[in-house]
Amino acid sequence: MRSVSTVIFVITVLNVLGSCAGGPGGRTTALHQAADEGDVRVIEELISEDSDIDARDEDGRTALHHAAFSGDILVTAALLNAGADPDLQDKAGRVPLHYAVLSCCPDLAAMLLAADADPFIKDRDDKNPLDLAMERDCEELEQTIRSSL
């Protein structure tokens, strides 16, 4: 079994190589990578090492954005419990709640809303998470967001 430091080192090397090759994942942190991979253990280790919980990637996304996009409830919970800000907007103006809607994940949206995520924040297309839920015709997500208002 690999140690967390070994995993973090490998993730860092892969990020550097990805950046040099122009591939996806450039300028992400080990925390972003762990969120993408759903690795709660590495996330908890990074948090205990005082990693910047709200560090941004090249698109302005935090690890919480990544977790919401992948629909990972455990990673989202770990990040929120560590104090991740649910209302930080990325370069597209989207907050993690937008990505929970795009991932069709009502339970994750409910978790973000319970952590005081603002359902009225609009993205660069002038759409808030409820607008996206209605566009996607996802009644459960609509109800989840409406019940928080």
pLDDT in tens, the chain (149 residues): 445 554 444 444 344 333 333 333 446 788 999 999 999 999 988 888 877 899 999 999 999 999 999 999 999 999 999 999 999 999 999 999 999 999 999 999 999 999 999 999 999 999 999 999 999 888 899 999 999 88
**Sequence letter at residue 19:** S
- The count of domains in the chain is 1
Instruction: Give the separation between CA 62 and CA 55, rounded to whole angstroms.
Output: 6
CATH of the domain at 45: 1.25.40.20
Supply the pLDDT for residue 81: 94
DSSP letter at 126 equals S
* Helix 73-81 with 106-114: angle, nearest 10 deg: 10
Instruction: Give the separation between CA 1 and CA 109, rounded to whole angstroms.
Output: 34
Return the structure tokens found at 36.
């993408």
Provide the domain limits for residue 19: 4-148
Instruction: Give the separation between CA 140 and CA 146, rounded to whole angstroms.
Output: 10
Instruction: Provide the 10 A C-beta neighbour count for residue 118.
Output: 14
